[in-house]
Amino acid sequence: MEHRIKDLRAAFGLTQEQLSEQIGVSRQTIISIESGRYNPSLELAYKISKVFGCKIEDVFIFEKGSE
């Protein structure tokens, strides 16, 4: 899943550590999400979007399945 976390984090002047503290996860979780090794749960995606004052779909780009 693609996302804009790194760009938003930079725009807000947040480090990975600061973001992780705000949403209650480890810095390693943020690293894994940013590198694409881990897709966050819906609850975690919601928490991340709230830090940036956005809707989930403004942070995460969901791919449409083949029809």
> Is the pTM value of this prediction over 0.75?
yes
Residues 6+ apart with CB under 8 A from 64: none
pLDDT the model gives residue 38: 95
pLDDT the model gives residue 37: 96
pLDDT the model gives residue 65: 58
66 pLDDT exceeds 60?
A: no
Residue 67 lies in a domain: no
Residue 44 lies in a domain: yes
Report the CATH number at residue 25: 1.10.260.40
Say how many domains are in the chain: 1
Neighbour tally for 43: CB within 10 Å: 9
Residue 29 lies in a domain: yes
Residue 66 lies in a domain: no
Residue 27 lies in a domain: yes
Residue 45 lies in a domain: yes
Segment 47-50 long-range contacts (CB within 8 Å, at least 24 positions apart): 47/23, 48/5, 48/19, 48/23
Per residue in 10-60, pLDDT (tens digit) is 999 999 999 999 999 999 999 999 999 999 999 999 999 999 999 999 999
Residue 35 sits in which domain range?
Answer: 2-61
